[in-house]
Amino acid sequence: GQSLEQPSEVTAVEGAIVQINCTYQTSGFYGLSWYQQHDGGAPTFLSYNALDGLEETGRFSSFLSRSDSYGYLLLQELQMKDSASYFCDVEGLTGGGNKLTFGTGTQLKVEL
């Protein structure tokens, strides 16, 4: 089967840098995605890594190490509006086709 682990909660101050880790177990790995969800809102896509290394999109970066089955989301210059839940999502191959599994989410609290 597939499983993911990420911390349940992270707290940081405005302007700081925070890293949210995600470790996974899956067969036939295709890629790791990150989604952001504000309270009461729908998850929205942030980034996708299929290959090892760092992908940068503005203040957000995502890293993948396939050999370590590990990835992280890096948020720089934190702003209050970054307070949200962040989910990692792994695409792997199980049974008859691609299977997607979301982590349980990391609640990020940004404080003044």
C-alpha distance across the termini of the chain, in Å: 41
Q: How many residues bind other proteins (CB under 8 A)?
A: 23
Give the Cα separation of 19 and 71 in Å (integer): 10
Amino acid (one-letter) located at 28: G
Amino acid (one-letter) located at 25: Q
Stretch that binds other proteins, among 11-19, 51-59, 71-79, 84-92 (CB under 8 A): 84-92
Report if residue 48 touches other proteins, rule: CB under 8 A: yes
Tokens found for residue 75: 């948020």
Q: Which of residues 85-104 bind other proteins (CB under 8 A)?
A: 87, 89, 91, 96-98, 100-104
Residues contributing to the site for other proteins (CB under 8 A): 8, 30-31, 33, 35, 41-45, 48, 87, 89, 91, 96-98, 100-105
